C-alpha cells in the first residue's frame, strides 16, 4: 500500500449515514465481482463526494456515472473498480498514465495503489478543479498535465500501465508505443453507442501485443485538441 492510503480520519466529518452508504457501495461492487481487497479498501476510504458538485453529493456513493460539467462524467464506481483491478492484476505497477483526469477521482484511486500517476486532461478548467481537490486531500504522487492524450505523454514514458477514461474509435498507436515491457493498456474503444473495454498487454520487451475484450462500456469520446 506504500502508505498512500487516505486516513479514515480524513473524512470523519462525513457522518455515519454516509459511512453506511459507502459500505453499501462496497457490497455492491463485491456483488458485481470485484474481489481485490486493496481496490475495495481504497474506494472505501476515498471521499467521492469531494469530486462532485455539492448539489450532487447526496448521490456520490451510488453506483452511477455523474456529471462533472463541460459535458463530461465521473465514471461509475464499478467501472473505476474494474479498470483498477485489471490494472493491478498482473502484479504491481509503478508508473501509470491516465488519459482524461476529469474530476481527478480515478487518479486519486490509482495514486493510493501505485507509485506515481501521470494524468492528462484536455479541458483546463477541469484540470484546475481536480488539482485543487487532490491538494486538499494531500495526494502528492500525481502529476497533472494539460495536453491531448491521443498522443499519450511522451515526456515521461514508458509507463507500466495506461488507463484511458475516454473512448477513441481506434486504439492510438502512441499509447502502445509508450508502454514499458509487460505494460498494460486499458481503454474503451468505439462509438458512444457501441463501445467495449479493451485490455492490451505488451508481451515482454517485444512489440507484440495481446488483446482482450472485457466488457461493454459507455465512456465519453476521446476528443481532439485542447480547450480552456
Ligand atoms: N477519470 C475521470 C473521468 C472523466 S471523463 C474521473 O475520474 O473523473 C473523461 C475525461 O477525458 C473528460 O474530462 C474529458 O475532457 C477527457 N478527455 C477527452 N478527450 C481527451 C483528450 N484527447 N486528451 C485528454 N483528455 C481528454
Q: What is the 3-state secondary structure (H, E, C) of the chain?
A: CCCCCCCHHHHHHHCHHHHHHHHHHHHHHHHCCCCCHHHHHHHHHCCHHHHCCHHHHHHCCCCCCEEEECCEEECCHHHHHHHHHHHHCCCCCCEEEEECCCCCHHHHHHHCCCCEEEEEECEHHHHHHHHHHHHHCCCCCEEEEECCHHHCCHHHCCEEEEEECCECCCCCHHHHHCEEEEEEEEEEEEECCEEEEEEEEECCCCCCEEEEEEEEECCCECCCCCEC
The reported pLDDT for the residue numbered 16 is: 47
Region 43-56: mean pLDDT is 94
Q: Determine the atom of ligand 1 nearest the C-alpha atom of 74.
A: 8
Q: Above pLDDT 90, what percent of the chain?
A: 87
Ligand 1 centre distance from Cα of residue 102 (Å): 5
- 75: annotated active-site residue: yes
pLDDT at 109: 98
**Among 96, 122, 125, residue to substitute to test ligand 1 (most atoms within 8 Å of Cβ):** 122
Q: Per-residue pLDDT for 221 more than 70?
A: yes
Residue of 60, 75, 103, 119 marked catalytic: 75
Q: Kindly report the protein residue whose alpha carbon is nearest to atom 18 of ligand 1.
A: 222
Entry pTM: 0.94
- Ligand 1, CB cutoff 6 Å, lining residues: 68, 72-75, 99-100, 102-103, 105-106, 120-123, 126, 148-150, 165-166, 220, 222-223
For residue 106, the ligand 1 atom closest to its alpha carbon is: 7
Provide the mean pLDDT of the chain: 93
pLDDT at residue 3 in the model: 53
Amino acid at each position: 500500500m506504500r502508505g498512500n492510503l487516505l486516513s479514515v480520519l480524513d473524512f470523519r466529518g462525513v457522518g455515519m449515514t454516509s459511512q453506511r452508504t459507502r459500505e453499501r457501495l462496497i457490497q455492491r461492487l463485491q456483488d458485481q465481482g470485484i474481489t481485490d481487497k486493496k481496490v475495495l479498501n481504497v474506494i472505501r476510504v476515498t471521499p467521492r463526494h469531494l469530486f462532485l458538485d455539492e448539489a450532487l453529493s447526496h448521490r456520490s456513493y451510488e453506483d452511477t456515472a455523474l456529471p462533472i460539467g463541460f459535458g463530461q462524467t465521473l465514471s461509475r464506481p464499478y467501472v473505476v473498480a474494474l479498470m483498477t483491478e485489471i490494472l493491478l492484476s498482473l502484479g504491481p505497477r509503478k508508473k501509470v498514465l491516465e488519459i482524461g483526469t476529469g474530476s481527478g477521482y480515478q487518479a486519486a484511486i490509482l495514486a493510493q495503489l501505485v507509485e506515481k500517476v501521470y494524468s492528462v486532461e484536455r479541458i483546463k478548467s477541469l484540470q484546475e478543479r481536480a488539482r485543487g481537490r487532490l491538494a486538499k486531500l494531500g495526494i502528492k504522487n500525481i502529476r497533472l498535465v494539460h495536453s491531448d492524450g491521443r498522443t499519450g505523454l511522451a515526456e515521461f514514458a514508458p509507463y507500466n500501465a495506461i488507463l484511458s477514461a475516454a473512448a477513441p474509435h481506434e486504439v492510438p498507436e502512441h499509447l502502445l508505443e509508450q508502454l514499458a515491457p509487460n505494460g498494460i493498456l486499458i481503454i474503451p474503444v468505439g462509438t458512444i453507442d457501441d463501445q467495449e473495454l479493451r485490455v492490451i498487454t505488451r508481451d515482454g520487451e517485444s512489440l507484440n501485443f495481446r488483446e482482450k475484450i472485457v466488457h461493454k462500456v459507455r465512456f465519453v469520446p476521446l476528443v481532439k485538441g485542447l480547450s480552456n
